[in-house]
């Protein structure tokens, strides 16, 4: 049964009720189906290569070919209905100790502050809002009564890195403003890890990509499941390292291995990352959660001030260097984000995803 015009209009209104960003793939499909349902096949000139937002939209619309208006309208309604149903019933935020956060869940228990990345449907990809919320959670954890702080993720991924939709939300002031603002957010984010005063532990529950890998050199302990992988595909996206990894990775794993990882996109298994010193210990996935949280619970019973002061002795001499590296990396990334090389790489990424 074909969707009626009334169903189509209702779907447009229902779309506005979504609580979470459906992601770039879904938004491109919705855009394309809407244009096809209302105007028919793509009939506008192809945007220039550097206009990557409008080019991605044009490619999505053009890919529908000769799909009829009725078929496009039906597909649009079905897609909206699927997005609405996938969110499920609203959660009772009154039971959530982290209710101030939209992209995280923060739980304090057993003398631990646990920060969970909470976008499992997006593989915990980090949005600009998420950057700010993680920084806020770290600020609060630094001041609370917890002994240790733990960062982990919900779902199959620890974190898939930057949400590349961050690069599509260009403000009226232009790409320069977007790049400058993003560099400020990133620098402030990494500074939080450099300055964190308590033992900071990463529990890597699945694959880690990009920024979620590079900041691991700023953690005190990194525990990983044996199905985790570690990937920093910066050159594939026309970008450069961040998270102080240009400094910490050569010190942790040696220069040649760091070059392989940061320049030539080498993907590390959990055991390879452990052998190189990036990961502290690897656990079988079947027992990972049980073993790790039992161990962390024991750490939480240790004297709070003793741990904090000992960490400061170990880390203090490096802070000045780390902050200087963070500034340099963010400035280089700001330049990269404005480069034609980076823009073309991101366009290719979105095009490849649209074909899947």
Q: Is the pLDDT of residue 32 over 50?
A: yes
Mean of pLDDT over the chain: 90
Domain co-membership, 228 together with 143: yes
Domain co-membership, 86 together with 126: no
Domain co-membership, 116 together with 155: yes
Tokens of 259: 């070059």
Helix, strand, coil shares, percent, the chain, to 5:
55, 10, 30
How sure is the predictor about 355, in pLDDT bands with cuts at 50, 70 and 90? low
The range of the structural domain enclosing residue 9 comes to 5-90
User: Per mean pLDDT, which range of 16-20, 31-35, 225-229 is the poorest?
Assistant: 16-20
Determine the pLDDT at residue 97: 45
Domain co-membership, 180 together with 303: yes
Helices (H) and strands (E) in the chain, counts: 13, 9
Whether 99 is covered by a domain: the verdict is: yes
Domain co-membership, 181 together with 132: yes
Last-in-domain residue among 90, 115, 131: 90
For residue 263, CA distances in Å to 3, 157, 238, 313 come to 50, 23, 11, 32
| Chain length of the chain | 356
Domain co-membership, 314 together with 173: yes
Helix (H) or strand (E) holding 222, with range, is strand 221-225
State how many domains the chain has.
2
Domain CATH for 260: 3.90.226.10
Domain co-membership, 65 together with 124: no
**Half-sphere exposure in the Cβ direction for 233 (13 Å, CA):** 13
Percentage of residues of the chain with pLDDT beyond 70: 91
Domain co-membership, 232 together with 330: yes
For residue 312, CA distances in Å to 195, 249, 298 come to 9, 20, 21
Whether 354 is covered by a domain: the verdict is: no
Over residues 196-204, the mean pLDDT reads 98
């Amino acid at each position: 049964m074909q969707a009626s015009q009334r169903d189509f209009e209702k779907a447009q209104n229902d779309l506005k009720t979504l609580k979470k960003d459906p992601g770039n793939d879904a938004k491109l499909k919705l855009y394309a189906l809407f244009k096809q349902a209302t105007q028919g096949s793509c009939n506008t000139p192809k945007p220039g290569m550097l206009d990557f937002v409008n080019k991605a939209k044009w490619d999505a619309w053009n890919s529908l070919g000769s799909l009829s208006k009725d078929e496009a309208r039906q597909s649009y309604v079905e897609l909206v209905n699927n997005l609405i149903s996938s969110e499920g019933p609203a959660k009772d935020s009154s039971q959530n100790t982290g209710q101030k956060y939209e992209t995280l869940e923060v739980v304090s228990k057993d003398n631990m502050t646990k920060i969970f990345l909470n976008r499992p449907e997006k593989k915990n990809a980090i949005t600009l809002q998420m950057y700010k919320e993680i920084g806020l959670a770290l600020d609060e954890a630094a001041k609370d009564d917890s002994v240790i702080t733990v960062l982990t993720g919900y779902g199959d991924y620890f974190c898939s890195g930057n949400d590349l939709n961050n690069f599509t939300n260009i403000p009226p002031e232009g790409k320069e403003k977007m790049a400058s603002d993003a560099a400020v957010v990133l620098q402030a984010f990494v500074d939080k890890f450099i300055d964190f005063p308590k033992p900071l532990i990463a529990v890597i529950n699945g694959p880690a990509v990009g920024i979620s890998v590079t900041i691991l050199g700023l953690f005190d302990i990194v525990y990983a499941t044996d199905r985790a992988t570690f990937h920093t595909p910066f050159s594939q996206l026309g970008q450069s390292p961040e998270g102080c990894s240009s400094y910490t990775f050569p010190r942790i794993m040696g220069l040649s291995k760091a070059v392989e990882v940061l320049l030539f996109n080498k993907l590390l298994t959990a055991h390879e990352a452990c052998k190189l010193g990036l990961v502290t210990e690897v656990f079988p996935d079947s027992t990972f959660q049980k073993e790790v949280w039992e161990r962390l619970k024991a750490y939480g019973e240790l004297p709070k001030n003793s741990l904090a002061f000992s960490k400061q002795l170990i880390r203090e001499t490096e802070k000045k260097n780390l902050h200087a590296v963070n500034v340099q990396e963010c400035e280089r990334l700001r330049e990269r984000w404005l480069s034609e090389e980076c823009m073309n790489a991101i366009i290719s990424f979105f095009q490849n995803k649209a074909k899947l």
